[in-house]
Amino acid sequence: MSVMDEINVKGLVCLEAGTGAGNTTLWLAKKGAKLVYSISNNQEHLDYAFKRLSKKYIKNVKFIKADLQKLDFLEEETIDLITAHMLINVVTPVDLFLIFKELTRIAKNKALIVVNDYNPLSSYQTERSHLVEELFRIENAVSYLANGEPILVWYPSEYTAGLLELLEWKVETIELLYDKTPWEKELLKEHLEVIEEECKKINNENLAENLLHQAIEILNQVGESETIYAGTIYSLIAKRKK
Ligand SMILES: C[S@@+](CC[C@H](N)C(=O)[O-])C[C@H]1O[C@@H](n2cnc3c(N)ncnc32)[C@H](O)[C@@H]1O
């Protein structure tokens, strides 16, 4: 949260785009946000984040199940601060445009948006980085085969900045939160579980088995206590200008 630490959240109406585990929602509430709309399309995530929220902030947070492309319950120009912490890597390019468009509609003039996310894995490389890249390539391949969409997209900070500028935001800062992103085996195992689940949906059994086998082989090459570094994580802050 280092870059966001500089933003005075006290008294602001905020919107956390993509609740996930609720880390940013909890942070915004603790920092004194007047109201946080915490939005996810996944009810389990909302329930989990709700359980983690200290009861003293209960009146300051509204957990809402909705698609970020369509926030009809919010009027134009109602939000002071929008946060999207690790959201956009799970969103396809068309969806990302539509989400940013909707977030622009509800943002007040001079509102801030903070986007924290991954640069492409090639933005930081070691001789072991290729293992992470290969695993994610398989994860995207099985997702394409199962659902017709990638599951992970790495948008370079320049791409995110360009999209926001197109929608009339002025990019104020782009900084690195992590100059090398650590991938521990435990985290990579979670991605293997996703691959396993997606493989069940693929009609071609041989292909699914082959892809799963390749993913397991990659994981087998990672030591139990090894951390592989690949990519960087950026924090981009932009201001709405009308
Ligand atoms: C990786 S999590 C974000 C982590 C979270 N921001 C945090 O700080 O802990 C991504 C979240 O975005 C949600 N999401 C993805 N696409 C969405 C969409 N179109 N509308 C609403 N939520 C979406 C997912 O369901 C998930 O809850």
Prediction pTM value: 0.94
pLDDT at 242: 75
Q: Is 40 in the pocket of ligand 1 (CB under 6 A)?
A: yes
Cα-Cα-Cα-Cα torsion 165, 169, 170, 175, nearest 10 degrees, comes to -80
Question: What pLDDT is recorded for position 116?
Answer: 97
Q: What number does the ligand 1 atom closest to the CA of 18 have?
A: 12
CA of 206 relative to ligand 1 center, distance in Å: 32
Distance CA 68, CA 11 (A): 23
Q: For position 1, what pLDDT does the model report? A: 56
The answer, yes or no, to whether any atom of ligand 1 lies below 6 A from the CB of 231, is no
41 within ligand 1 shell (Cβ under 6 A): yes
Q: Which atom of ligand 1 is nearest to the CA of 87?
A: 10
Instruction: Provide the pLDDT for residue 5.
Output: 85
Reduced to 3 states (helix: H, G, I; strand: E, B; else coil), residue 20 is coil
Q: What is the pLDDT of residue 93?
A: 94
Cα of 220 from ligand 1 centre, angstroms: 30
Task: Evaluate whether 40 touches 19 at the Cβ level (below 8 Å).
Answer: yes
For residue 84, report the distance from its CA to the centre of ligand 1, in Å.
8
Q: Which CATH superfamily is domain 67-240 in?
A: Vaccinia Virus protein VP39 (3.40.50.150)
> What pLDDT shows up at residue 2?
65
Helix (H, G, I), strand (E, B) or coil at 239: strand
DSSP assigned state of 162:
H
Looking at residue 63, its pLDDT comes to 98
Task: Judge if the beta carbon of residue 116 lies within 6 A of ligand 1.
Answer: no
- Are the CB atoms for 151 and 208 separated by under 8 Å? no
Answer positive or negative: Cα dihedral of 220, 225, 228, 232: positive
From first to last of its 242 residues, the chain has per-residue pLDDT tens of: 567 888 999 999 999 999 999 999 999 999 999 999 999 999 999 999 999 999 999 999 999 999 999 999 999 999 999 999 999 999 999 999 999 999 999 999 999 999 999 999 999 999 999 999 999 999 999 999 999 999 999 999 999 999 999 999 999 999 999 999 999 999 999 999 999 999 999 999 999 999 999 999 999 999 999 999 999 999 999 999 97
Please indicate whether residue 39, judged by its CB atom, sits closer than 6 Å to ligand 1. yes
Picking from 32, 30, 25, 27, the residue whose alpha carbon sits closest to that of residue 9 is 32
Residue to mutate, 40, 99, 194, ligand 1, most ligand atoms under 8 Å from C-beta: 40
Run of H or E residues at 82: strand 79-85
Q: Which helix (H) or strand (E) element contains residue 59?
A: none
